[in-house]
Amino acid sequence: MSDTVCVYCSSSDDIDDQHFAVAETMGRALAEGRHRLVYGGGQVGLMGRLAEAVHEQGGSVVGVIPEALRDKEGVAYEVADEMVVTGTMQERKAEMYSRADAFVALPGGFGTLEEFMEVLTLKQLGYHRKPLVLVNTGGFYDALIRFFEQLYEEGFARRRHGGLYYLANDPSDAMAYLDEYEAPQAA
């Protein structure tokens, strides 16, 4: 059971509607499961839709945003239950990392990939044993998984580390995984 779930997702508004529908379902599912959302604090793209959906379902939203983004008009989700303002992007990631019991990535761009890769690398190195989930809306992450396969085949990563994250078909699959997750024993 994960009390606080960190969700990484796209800040873009120029993406297919299916992704907004999934962000909304994810937000509702988090609130229904009584999980607090911690996320990048934006009202843009999937981030905004996700946070609104958590609130619509009576859940709690914690945003973590760097000063520079907070000061840009129309970026921050002003009605978050708590908004943590950090000096830098690096501090923002560290704050989200320390507050979260689990990490979920919906489809996203460079920012989302970077955030997810960091928590995956930290788990690979044994810094944490928290659950990690990629939500593979419409096969969005298939190409990334194929690239991971290349990494294993060419010896750049260990195949067993592919078990450090879960590839979910949709938010309900992701939530079921989080609810049943048992942390692996320390090596």
- Per CB under 6 A, which region of 18-26, 27-35, 42-50, 166-174 contacts ligand AMP? 42-50
CB 26 within 8 A of CB 48: no
Say which residues have a Cβ less than 8 Å from residue 121's Cβ, sequence separation at least 6: none
- Residues 47-66 binding ligand AMP (CB under 6 A) are 47, 65
- Residues 92-131 binding ligand AMP (CB under 6 A) are 108-112, 115
In the list 42, 48, 59, 171, the residue contacting ligand AMP (rule: CB under 6 A) is 42
44 binds ligand AMP (CB under 6 A): yes
In the list 19, 20, 38, 41, the residue contacting ligand AMP (rule: CB under 6 A) is 41
| C-beta nearest to ligand AMP: residue | 111
**Residue number with CB closer to ligand AMP (27 or 41):** 41
CB of 166 to ligand AMP, least distance (A): 18
Say which residues have a Cβ less than 8 Å from residue 72's Cβ, sequence separation at least 6: none
40 binds ligand AMP (CB under 6 A): yes
91 binds ligand AMP (CB under 6 A): no
Structure tokens at 23: 């962000």
In the list 9, 31, 38, 168, the residue contacting ligand AMP (rule: CB under 6 A) is 9
CB of 11 to ligand AMP, least distance (A): 4
Number of other CB atoms surrounding residue 169 within 10 Å: 12
86 binds ligand AMP (CB under 6 A): no
CB of 23 to ligand AMP, least distance (A): 11
Residues that bind ligand AMP in the complex, under the rule CB under 6 A: 8-12, 40-42, 44, 47, 65, 69, 75, 108-112, 115
